[in-house]
Amino acid sequence: MNATGPHPRRDNVLRQLKAMGGGSWMPWVALLGLLAVVLVGGYFALTMNSDIELPDTGAFAMTAGVLFALVVGVGLMALIFFSSRRGYDETPTVERRDEDRKP
């Protein structure tokens, strides 16, 4: 494929962007802006000089706590996902047989 030839992937992306309409790009801009704020804030939080030093045991405890919270969060979300997929979240119904009904 030469440099001046057609690019099907790029043309497809451009077609999809045109089809999105006027306001569909706004959530993407907001999410990218939030990502930038988080990255800049994380950089400053990690590189900021502080007079208080964190001992190795404190760093280990904080790391263990963050990992434990992540594992619990991911586990609970997985349970919600599988519960919803298998129909455990649906409202229970009672099916009555004909002989159980009163005349």
Neighbours of 67 (CB within 10 A): 10
Does position 4 have pLDDT exceeding 90, yes or no? no
pLDDT of residue 22: 65
Domain boundaries, the chain: 11-49, 51-90
Among residues 27, 8, 7, 11, the alpha carbon closest in space to that of 19 is found at 11
pLDDT digit string, tens, across residues 36-63: 999 999 888 878 877 778 888 988 999 9
- What is the spatial distance between Cα 42 and Cα 48, in angstroms, rounded to a whole number? 10
Three-class secondary structure of residue 33 per DSSP: helix
| Chain segment 16-29, per-residue pLDDT in tens | 777 766 677 788 89
> At residue 102, does pLDDT exceed 70?
no
- State the residue for tokens 């609970």: 76
